Structure 1
Amino acid sequence: MNTLISFLGKGQPDQQTGYRTANYRFDAGFSRAVPFFGLALTEYLKPDRLVLVGTAGSMWDVFFHREGVDDEAVLELMAAVEGGTVDQSLLQLPQRQLGERLGVPVDCLLIPYARDPAQQAEILRLLAAVVHPGEKLCIDVTHGFRHLPMLALVAARYLARVGGVKVEELYYGALEMTTPEGETPVLRLGGLLAMLDWVDALASYDKDGDYGVFSPLLAADGMEKGRADLLARAAYFERTSNPVKAREKLTDVFRTVEAHRGALGGLFGPTLAKRISWFRRGKRDDWELSLADAYRERGDYLRAATFMYEAFITRACNKSSHDPTDFKTRKDDYDIARAQQPEVAKLEYLRNSLAHGVRPRADQEARTLDDEGRLQTALKSLRNKLFKP
């Protein structure tokens, strides 16, 4: 189902229309001269349902009078609008008659004025209650109070995450941008939602280190899909403790990320490139140690301990000029290095305890795992002791 949500406000009403008539230009083949943008947008989009959203003081009376609703119902609305006391019962007949005229179901939703966080949250709750999972939404933010478009942007993200809907576009009839020829452009603000997707992706990456979340965003921003997919592949290999394979994929795609100049990728690309540059440092043990540091800072202590442990073994193999991927030489070189640096046993205990969810037998390690601050301190201390310059 395709649903249009359109806000109705107080505006600067005149006695006839409530808003000044504007000739809204949607595209080369479609324009309409109307005072209420939402109705022109309804004709343009042909939604399956229209939801009109307004406060108890919005110009419901002027709007419905112009749309030919029953005079007695409009008279009741006039008194209620003047007193800011419109309730849902007064909107039942007008919304039904408007729906019959438009040929689509119409719902009227009363919302508070968003004066404080409680009212703002209530608006989100009310909007979520009138949408259905799987719906496709377009939101019109042309009319209504000036602060409502900001709330509508938050609502679009909230409804997508909580309501299970897909917000396809935000529309704004830009009256203040009317051309000398008298045409008012219709702006599509869906790019703002895409920007929020990128901000969400950065927050997600900061939390868990999975830069694969950028792959579909880069593809949508114009990067060749095969190239963007390399980023997801690299993230997969990193998160399955295979930094060599991850580095191979990152090496292939890194310059593409740096050079990408899409509308949004160009905005976020330098930050992304900086955050995935670990693979450019030294040898394998340097990559693993860099990843251990990054995961420790994110609070992913199992991966932090795992990569630090692997970095220790890889460095031991490097000193013996052995292949760090060969199981036997890894074990032999680890045993030699452990005898020289017995502190690594503590790292091994911590790693095993984190992996298996079993408290270590030693009281010291058990106390370490009982407190995040102590675990952070222990991992930093081990890092400094085991990887001296």
Structure 2
Amino acid sequence: MTTDRTTLITFLGRVPRDDHGYRKTRYDFGDGQSADEFAFFGWALQRQIKPQNIVILGTIGSMWDHLFEGDFNLGAAAEHQREALMGAVDAQRVTQHQLDELAPALAAHLNCRVRLGIVPYAYDGVAADLLVQMAADVFETDIVHLDVTHGLRHLPMLALLSALYIRITKRATIAGIWYGAYDCDTGRGQAHNLAGIMRIADSLQALSSFDKDGDYGVFMPLLEQSGASPQVVEALKKASYYENLLNVGQATGQLRQALRALETEAPGLAPDVAPLLPTIQRRLQWVDEDRQFEKQLALATHALERRDYLRATLYAYEAVITRVCQIQSAKIESFEEREGARKVYEKQSEGLPEYQDYKLLKHLRNEVAHGTRGSTAEVQRALLNELVMYELLKRLLDAIRQGRLPSHEDGV
């Protein structure tokens, strides 16, 4: 369902009360406007963001009675049910049926949809059920605000998980993760929007995605949102495109440009992306390798580490041919000279010990590129067994790294 409605999900806790009821606080949202006093921060937040959908979750012992008796005057609406609720709160035995009966009174007063829900204490493996329950009231494309002020101390951690869960499963926008902090010295409260923590979660998710497939294009939206210049984002975009085409030379130039600019721009970027920058730099250290074949070898090694056998094989083979071109002083960017150098190498190395490894790598490269059956028994075994494939590629990469494939004298 497509909608642009705003949804507020908030937790209701239990705090001591005196003869005057629960303590009320005036919360400052940083907009310079004076706010009314509320004991329940969720109502202050409701006044601020004006949601069309409110979900209030609490345990059987939460201060449900305050929703109807403290911050609002509901008159005689559902009076008998409210009296019964007060007794249930004192006994910490509130039922879902009681809340379902009372929710329409709040909805009518606030002129929006309201759901009141009993949740477990989220111990011993029931946290996943809570995540599902929180997401059940969110439509796709909702603008969601989460309030983690009240409730049990572990609920804010679950709220963060729910924010990630809701955003992924419902494609909703998490506009706020709110905490109302009470200052006992001044008797006032300060409203804090902690939604920036989602960008830290995005950073971790981007790193995980990069480690899986090596595509650093996943960093572009994060850097763009954090204030990186269009030049940085465009350079990363181009580099990602070139590397996907195995064009390491062009990718290197764009990456160096992006990394230099990031060093200059780092102090002005949003603080929540700062932890990401050193990791990006470490992940892209291969651009500092002196020679082209060393870059390709590094990329092949990284691909093998993440079990990307296709890219590991392609880069390994390209590293060999690039090294051959350098030995023969052939232009590596020229297809004709590259092909000529390859043919010369194959003719000169035939009969040498390294030739068997070269033929093996060449056959393997052809089979994984075309998805065909292995042309030799050894290649076929590798295609049918991941452990054999991993060990084979590891051995071939070691041979390239140690100068045994190709084994001709350096000369450069």
* TM-score, with structure 2 as normaliser: 0.89
Q: Tell me, yes or no, if structure 1 residue 299 matches structure 2 residue 302.
A: no
Going from structure 1 to structure 2, the CA distance change for 1:345 and 1:95 (only over 3 Å counts) comes to same
Instruction: Confirm or deny: 8 A CA contact 1:258 1:270 kept in the other structure.
Output: no
Instruction: Confirm or deny: 8 A CA contact 2:296 2:315 kept in the other structure.
Output: yes
What is the CA–CA distance in structure 2 between the aligned matches of 1:328 and 1:232, rounded to whole Å?
A: 29
Instruction: Confirm or deny: 8 A CA contact 1:141 1:172 kept in the other structure.
Output: yes
Q: Which residue of 1 aligns with 2:410?
A: none
* Equivalent in 138, 141, 154 of residue 134 of structure 1: 141
1:289-328 to structure 2, matched below 5 A, reads 289-328=297-336
* Structure 1 unaligned regions, length at least 5: none
What is the CA–CA distance in structure 2 between the aligned matches of 1:242 and 1:14, rounded to whole Å?
A: 72
Instruction: Confirm or deny: 8 A CA contact 1:17 1:63 kept in the other structure.
Output: no
3-state SS in 1 of match to 2:9: strand
Instruction: Confirm or deny: 8 A CA contact 1:65 1:71 kept in the other structure.
Output: no
Which one-letter code corresponds to 2:40 in the other structure? Answer: F
3-state SS in 1 of match to 2:112: coil
Residue deviations 1:65-86, cap 9 Å, x none?
A: 3233522112222343345443
Residue deviations 1:295-328, cap 9 Å, x none?
A: 1111111001101111111111111111122222
What is the CA–CA distance in structure 2 between the aligned matches of 1:126 and 1:17, rounded to whole Å?
A: 30
* Equivalent in 24, 29, 52 of residue 27 of structure 2: 24
Q: Tell me, yes or no, if structure 1 residue 2 matches structure 2 residue 6.
A: yes
Taking only the aligned residue pairs, the percentage that are identical comes to 34
Residue deviations 1:253-274, cap 9 Å, x none?
A: 1112234122133222111112
Q: Tell me, yes or no, if structure 1 residue 249 matches structure 2 residue 249.
A: no
Going from structure 1 to structure 2, the CA distance change for 1:56 and 1:246 (only over 3 Å counts) comes to same
Residue deviations 1:20-51, cap 9 Å, x none?
A: 21121112124331111111111111111211
Q: Residue 13 of structure 1: CA displacement?
A: 3.6
Q: Which residue of 2 aligns with 1:123?
A: 130
Q: Which residue of 2 aligns with 1:359?
A: 373
Instruction: Confirm or deny: 8 A CA contact 2:99 2:117 kept in the other structure.
Output: no
Q: Which residue of 1 aligns with 2:231?
A: 226
Aligned length: 385
Instruction: Confirm or deny: 8 A CA contact 1:99 1:106 kept in the other structure.
Output: yes
Instruction: Confirm or deny: 8 A CA contact 1:11 1:143 kept in the other structure.
Output: no
* Equivalent in 48, 52, 58 of residue 56 of structure 2: 52
Which one-letter code corresponds to 1:332 in the other structure? Answer: G
Which one-letter code corresponds to 1:227 in the other structure? Answer: V
* Equivalent in 72, 77, 82 of residue 80 of structure 2: 72
* TM-score, with structure 1 as normaliser: 0.94
Q: Residue 150 of structure 1: CA displacement?
A: 0.8
Which one-letter code corresponds to 1:221 in the other structure? Answer: S
* Stretch moving more, 5-14 or 95-104: 5-14
Q: Tell me, yes or no, if structure 1 residue 344 matches structure 2 residue 351.
A: no
Instruction: Confirm or deny: 8 A CA contact 2:58 2:119 kept in the other structure.
Output: yes
Instruction: Confirm or deny: 8 A CA contact 2:9 2:134 kept in the other structure.
Output: no
Residue deviations 1:129-155, cap 9 Å, x none?
A: 111111110011111111101110110
Which one-letter code corresponds to 1:241 in the other structure? Answer: L
Q: Which residue of 1 aligns with 2:38?
A: 34
What is the CA–CA distance in structure 1 between the aligned matches of 2:325 and 2:369, rounded to whole Å?
A: 24
Q: Which residue of 2 aligns with 1:114?
A: 122
What is the CA–CA distance in structure 2 between the aligned matches of 1:87 and 1:133, rounded to whole Å?
A: 30
3-state SS in 1 of match to 2:174: strand
Instruction: Confirm or deny: 8 A CA contact 1:288 1:307 kept in the other structure.
Output: yes
What is the CA–CA distance in structure 2 between the aligned matches of 1:184 and 1:155, rounded to whole Å?
A: 25
Q: Tell me, yes or no, if structure 1 residue 185 matches structure 2 residue 193.
A: no
What is the CA–CA distance in structure 2 between the aligned matches of 1:170 and 1:61, rounded to whole Å?
A: 25
Instruction: Confirm or deny: 8 A CA contact 2:144 2:173 kept in the other structure.
Output: yes
Instruction: Confirm or deny: 8 A CA contact 1:257 1:273 kept in the other structure.
Output: no
3-state SS in 1 of match to 2:21: coil
* Stretch moving more, 367-376 or 246-255: 367-376
Which one-letter code corresponds to 2:311 in the other structure? Answer: R
